[in-house]
Amino acid sequence: MADWVTGKVTSIQHWTDTLFSLKVHAPVAPFTAGQFTKIGLEIDGERVQRAYSYVNAPHNPDLEFYLVNVPEGKLSPRLHAMQPGDELQIVSEAAGFFVLNEIPDCNTLWMLATGTALGPYLSILEEGKNLERFENIVLLHAVRYNHDLSYLPAMQQLAERYAGKLRIQTVVSREVVAGALYGRVPTLIANGELEAAVGLPMTPETSHVMLCGNPEMVRDTQQLLKETRQMTKHLRRRPGHMTAEHYW
């Protein structure tokens, strides 16, 4: 049984009409950067719950979550309407294996995210531990519109902090934006645009690719890398080149 505790909203940031971030204080157990927990509310006599990744580093007491409001959803509209001081339920123990301890050594670590799935990478990079194993890190955030790049300033600050080790690349699929690539992530890998923009190769000899976000992006990218780059899924019993987390 999950151990639910009560959390209190300390702030809410509305990035767009649908994208928002919650900061919460709650007596949760220590977690590993990249993990997720569950948030719940009592609605019509039952607990409605969903899984959300931590955006904050484990040492930060401000528990942060990046969410999208799904108007027809049971939970997200209620979370979207929250105010500082409101209470919610949160599972104390985090879960998930989308963490650096599961990633093998390599020259270049690719962190590819769509939408709100950026969260685990921000937690990992903000913490900054166990990254000396990688010579280069690429953080890619793919969104539909430019205004969906909620954490771009934070990403740029991280790039400055890592002084050349971390390269930031944005992708926008519905409009042309200066500095961002245009299109879908699998297409940009297939046609070489992503590697050209970043200036690094994505090969089994040099790279490990972390994929987090839209299941279609994750599936299509894995299939592409398998067929055209001879990259394989990473398993503990059989080390490979791709690690994935699905966001629904």
Backbone torsion region of residue 201, taken as left when φ is above 0, otherwise alpha when ψ lies between -120 and 50, otherwise beta: beta
- β partners of residue 112: 140, 211
Q: Percentage of the chain surpassing pLDDT 90? A: 96
Q: What are the tokens at 100? A: 């650096």
For residue range 4-25, list pLDDT tens digits in order. 999 999 999 999 999 999 999 9
Which of 35, 33, 41 has its CA nearest to residue 4?
41
DSSP 202: -
Q: Percentage of the chain surpassing pLDDT 70? A: 99
Residue 61 pLDDT more than 70?
A: yes
Tell me, yes or no, if the pTM score tops 0.75: yes
Mean pLDDT of 125-151: 97
For residue range 158-183, list pLDDT tens digits in order. 999 999 999 999 999 999 999 999 99
